[in-house]
Copies of this chain bind each other. A is one copy, B any other.
């Protein structure tokens, strides 16, 4: 058993981390809903229910706040990829990954990537945890794509990088939002529809 002092420190640290988790979760939601530029720090503070100044004790700037949200979703993606059964075919893993990102987007938890000119870009490009996660996901995907192409499941004439980006882009595909706004399809139907157009194409087979 740990001493009371150690226990209290650990408890405080847990509180701290829980608070930060709540902050980052709120940021993720707002980032998904409005994008980085339109999101304000005041909104974040209001959603979490703490004062704005307190936010700045945890994160030094709005950019760092958003970067933390991007790191969080990247971590969740890595965890998901690692949780996929090793026995599944590479193509199935790719489909599952694309499905996961789309479900996250429909749930309003997928922060949208910054546009080319955004100040968030610079912060993200010098954020090692984010870059590490991105790299690992790329390598994971890369292996599956090559295997799926070698087995004849994926079109081998497509450059692997094009396949990678195409799957990656499902995370911010506006078609999901459009179809949801139409109101004629359930979330599950939307996901399967977009998955189908992505892997099978628009043309008849």
Give A contacts to B, CB under 8 Å: 33-35, 37-38, 91, 112-113, 115-118, 152-156, 158-159, 161-163, 165-169, 172-175, 177-179, 182, 184-185, 193-194, 196-205
Q: How far is the CB of A203 from chain B (nearest CB, A)?
A: 5
- Pairs across A and B, CB under 8 Å, 17 listed: A35-B37, A35-B118, A37-B38, A38-B115, A113-B174, A153-B203, A158-B196, A161-B182, A162-B175, A162-B193, A165-B174, A165-B175, A165-B179, A166-B175, A172-B174, A201-B201, A201-B203
Q: What residues on B are CB-neighbors of A167 within 8 Å?
A: 202
Q: How far is the CA of A113 from the CA of B35 in the complex (A)?
A: 12
Q: What residues on B are CB-neighbors of A202 within 8 Å?
A: 154-155, 158, 163, 166-167, 198-199, 201
Known contacts A155-B202, A173-B169, A175-B169: A197-B162 contact under CB 8 Å? yes
Q: What residues on B are CB-neighbors of A161 within 8 Å?
A: 179, 182, 184
B155 and A200 contact, CB distance less than 8 A: yes
B116 and A177 contact, CB distance less than 8 A: yes
Q: What residues on B are CB-neighbors of A178 within 8 Å?
A: 165, 168-169
Known contacts A169-B175, A179-B162: A33-B116 contact under CB 8 Å? yes
Q: What residues on B are CB-neighbors of A194 within 8 Å?
A: 162, 166
Q: How far is the CA of A172 from the CA of B113 in the complex (A)?
A: 13
Q: How far is the CA of A166 from the CA of B156 in the complex (A)?
A: 23
Q: What residues on B are CB-neighbors of A112 within 8 Å?
A: 115
Q: What residues on B are CB-neighbors of A205 within 8 Å?
A: 155, 205
